[in-house]
Amino acid sequence: MTPTLPEGVERRPLAGEEHLATRGPPVYGEPTDGTWRAWDPGRSKLGAMLDLGVETGLAGGDSVLYLGAAAGTTASHVADFAGPTYAVEFAPRPARDLVGVAADRGNLFPLLKDAREPATYAHVVEADLDAVVQDVATRGQARVAALNRRFLADDGRLVAAVKARSEDVTAEPGDVFEDVLAELEETYEVLATERLEPHHDDHLGVVARPR
């Protein structure tokens, strides 16, 4: 069965090649065709998951909490197809870029916060969200997902990119992934996993739902 792309995400010919694409103002010099812009999986873990055929369960119009938004590359694509998108980024410099990206998207709300401290943004982010998208380069990635479970609807989805080197730079990535998944399964039921090579080395894409 062909995995389902969220409504608002399509594979389209751009600059002579087929790309994942969303409709929205360009952000990082990506190829465009009218209102469509390419979604580069080499610069986006979520884009890599979709490009590799992972069934994320994301849908057009979803309400989303994005953890680890950085300068907004992936968060901008999410906001192109989703509904309200709350984008959490801790580092001030990329957060400034994120604010600029959000200026062109009325449904993208940048938050200069730490994803490990959800109480600091709980007064802003709505409850019963459709999805949490997580891409945090920090140790304790399963704990971050568990802490932010509070925002998800019971039938919501966690779509996470686990970075092995952020957990332990010396351990074998496969061992790291096993440990992270074991901890994650205390809070979530894991539905799918996929290594993100060739787009991203030592990363594991994970789709899960709350227990």
pLDDT attached to residue 2: 62
Count CB neighbours of 6 within 10 A: 20
pLDDT attached to residue 20: 97
The mean predicted confidence, pLDDT, of the chain is 96
Task: Using a cut of 0.75, tell me whether the model's pTM lies above it.
Answer: yes
Read off the tokens for 17. Answer: 């090649």
Taking only the tens place, the pLDDT of each residue in 24-73 is 999 999 999 999 999 999 999 999 999 999 999 999 999 999 999 999 99
Taking only the tens place, the pLDDT of each residue in 114-141 is 999 999 999 999 999 999 999 999 999 9
Burial 82-118 (b: 16+ CB within 10 A, else e): bebbbbbbbeeebbebbbebbeebebbbbbbbbbbeb
Taking only the tens place, the pLDDT of each residue in 164-190 is 999 999 999 999 999 999 999 999 999
| DSSP helix/strand/coil, 148 | helix
Q: Which CATH architecture has domain 40-210?
A: 3-Layer(aba) Sandwich (3.40)
Residue located via tokens 């109480």: 119
